[in-house]
Structure 1
Amino acid sequence: MGRSFEELVAEADSVPVDGWDFSWLDGRATEQRPSWGYQRSMGERMAGAEVALDIQTGGGEVLAGVPRLAERTFATESWEPNLAKARALLEPRGAQVLLDADEPPLPFEDNTFDLVVSRHPVTVWWAEIARVLAPGGTYFSQQVGPASVFELVEFFLGPQPEEVRNGRHPEAARAAAEAAGLQVLDLRMESLRTVFHDIGAVVYFLRKVIWMVPGFTVAEYLPDLRRLHERIESEGSFLAHTTRFLIEARKPLS
């Protein structure tokens, strides 16, 4: 006999959710990865860079996973529990991790970096990226696309308006990058399967990815969680679709 709704929810509601490590979900949820392999591709660029910046590094897990950092590597993070994790991972490798509010201006001089990277930034301040990039430098980022995991979002919040569903569109990113004076070198998007195998996985995910269902708490959404638990028990899983896009842009030499 499987674990009860109450047991699954209580466990998922009590585990820490700081950092950007989703290993607690192993065996409980699966997420298809984009074909371009962001961490590998970012690592290739990082190895050839002299001065690099990772914006919104989270707990530093993605940057720490590349084989070789740039000769001088910096990272920024706004949430202090993540900041401590990132410093523990990255400072032994020579990177400097700064507390930053994720609002302009970035705490760096103009024309500083030949590489700026960011995985799943909440907000992209394109003018700031263009400012801190050195001429010829590149921005390389994997971002959340439109209507990502919206099967889950709309289960809890109901149908969302089209302007919300179409937010974070890659073509909007292209336009914003170009408006900041950058040349877009690569832009592609994929829709990927995300499967939740128990209600605990859903609770953990919504506690960690706080912008999916803003203000989510177990107490607030208990009836919906119970309804979704019964659906997962009946159907075996809950399927949603994650959208991701890759963008690479360069600052002109002149």
Structure 2
Amino acid sequence: MRSGQQYGEPVDETTTPLGERATGWEFAWLDGRPGEPSWSYPDLARHLLRRAGAALDLDTGGGELLAELAPLPPHTVAVESWARNIPVARDRLAPLGVAVLTELPGGEDEFDVVLSRHGRLPATDISRLLRPGGHLLSQQVGSDDLAGLNVALGAPPAHHRWNAEVAVAALEEAGLHVTDVREEHPDVVFHNVGEVVRQLRDLPWQIRDFDTGKYADALGRVDSFIRLHGALAVTAHRFLVHAVRS
């Protein structure tokens, strides 16, 4: 999941060991695991991009998904602020003619489509950057995502409420017309405690102070639970919003 920046907050690189974090957002070991929603964000994005002359991808990560959506509009820009991802994204997207910026563009009425998959959702800036009739498509990670892991380990829950209702209210306040909203809580199943540890190390915003030493006792309890019951099941939290600038 992206938004290093889940719920709009950047990952604190000063407190998360770099050696425990991936570069880009290619978590191949998660492929095929449950937890994805019923809709296909890439398919929805491709449909919009086919008719667009200019597109913006927010928090592109290493540019993995945007590259998969090619062919892209003639004017396509990606934004990525995490220092470790920037050279990865530029290497991947430069052959496609995509400029990678570290901050949002400063203009107005520039893009037909703005995409944000698990990235920021700055409603006012999106409204500014979209042309009249332009589309926003965003898939977000909600604040209830994998909350069962926090409960199982006795860790603090998410501090910010982030769901479809909150996002829609912000977008509508910024002058966008929301045309489609979907929200789901698909199951995620962990079959051993090693999968739990790897999830929390690769996605450090779930439990920001996670350390195997600090949570050793709690991990031991989770391990015992999985050995007894065969798995630990929690739920993900995803929502999709499609909006248009009138």
**TM-score (normalised: structure 1):** 0.83
Structural mapping, 1:26-175, within 5 Å: 26=31, 30-100=33-103, 106-121=104-119, 123-158=120-155, 160=157, 164=159, 167-175=161-169
SS of the equivalent of 2:235 reads strand
Question: In the alignment, is the contact (CA less than 8 A) between 2:118 and 2:141 conserved in 1?
Answer: yes
CA RMSD of aligned residues (A): 2.1
Over 4 Å off, 4+ runs: 13-16, 158-161
* Alpha-carbon distance in structure 1 between the residues aligned to 2:223 and 2:240: 34
* Alpha-carbon distance in structure 1 between the residues aligned to 2:208 and 2:156: 15
Question: In the alignment, is the contact (CA less than 8 A) between 2:20 and 2:201 conserved in 1?
Answer: no
* Alpha-carbon distance in structure 2 between the residues aligned to 1:156 and 1:221: 7
* Alpha-carbon distance in structure 2 between the residues aligned to 1:124 and 1:171: 13
* Alpha-carbon distance in structure 1 between the residues aligned to 2:133 and 2:186: 33
**Cα 1:138–1:25, aligned 2, differ >3 Å: closer, same or farther?**
closer
**Cα 1:72–1:41, aligned 2, differ >3 Å: closer, same or farther?**
same
Question: In the alignment, is the contact (CA less than 8 A) between 1:17 and 1:204 conserved in 2?
Answer: no
Deviation at 1:236, TM superposition (A): 2.0
* Alpha-carbon distance in structure 2 between the residues aligned to 1:209 and 1:177: 27
Cross-structure match for 1:209: 203
Deviation at 1:26, TM superposition (A): 4.9
* Alpha-carbon distance in structure 2 between the residues aligned to 1:23 and 1:113: 31
Cross-structure match for 1:20: 25
Deviation at 1:50, TM superposition (A): 0.7
Identity of aligned residues (%): 38
5+ residue gaps, structure 1, are: 1-12, 101-105
Deviation at 1:62, TM superposition (A): 1.4
Question: In the alignment, is the contact (CA less than 8 A) between 1:145 and 1:244 conserved in 2?
Answer: yes
Task: Note if 1:220 corresponds to 2:214.
Answer: yes
5+ residue gaps, structure 2, are: 1-17
Task: Note if 1:242 corresponds to 2:236.
Answer: yes
**Cα 1:227–1:26, aligned 2, differ >3 Å: closer, same or farther?**
farther
Give the structure with higher Rg (CA): 1
Question: In the alignment, is the contact (CA less than 8 A) between 2:21 and 2:201 conserved in 1?
Answer: no
SS of the equivalent of 1:248 reads strand
Deviation at 1:244, TM superposition (A): 0.8
Deviation at 1:47, TM superposition (A): 2.4
